[in-house]
Amino acid sequence: MADYESAVFTNMCMVCDGNRILVQDRVSSNWPGITFPGGKVEVGESFVESARREVYEETGLTVKSLKLCGTKQFQDKNDARYVVLFYRTDEFEGQLTSSDEGEVFWIDKSELLDYELARDFKEMFEVFDSELLSEFYYYEEEGEVRLRLL
């Protein structure tokens, strides 16, 4: 009989407009700094619909043609596997509006490192922006937490 683990599913979406990307200056005390919009998948909700809902709630934009471009995973404090599905799109409509989650605004990709990024967002962006990488993975080895980009 196989062992099974609990899982928590969340999402993030990189919205592109040419060489510009939509970022959010997240005000959360748990994960402050520049990141992409996203959040938890609700019970019974599809992954794509969850990402669309989160982007709309946090930015006012309706996104289309979401492409799964990677994942992030780690064990959370309850020993559940925490999975973040990375989506990318360049199809959107609506008026950009910030939310209680934080201010949203466009920046050129080349300017990303000029901002205070959320913890590990630089490495996550590598996966979002790569055609070769698809996974951001925290694992434990010899008592230390390590990061691997695959």
Tell me the pLDDT tens digit for each residue of 15-30: 999 999 999 999 877 8
pLDDT given at position 1 = 54
Alpha-carbon torsion, ordered 91, 17, 35, 88, to 10 deg: 40
At 71-97, the pLDDT tens digits run 999 998 888 999 999 999 999 999 999
Q: In Å, how far from its chain's centre is CA 108?
A: 18
- Residues 49, 112, 26, 94, CA torsion sign: negative
Half-sphere exposure of 57 (CA within 13 A, CB side): 13
At 120-141, the pLDDT tens digits run 999 999 999 999 999 999 998 9
pLDDT given at position 4 = 87
Run of H or E including 57 = helix 47-59
Architecture of the domain spanning 7-149: Alpha-Beta Complex (3.90)
Q: In Å, how far from its chain's centre is CA 134?
A: 13
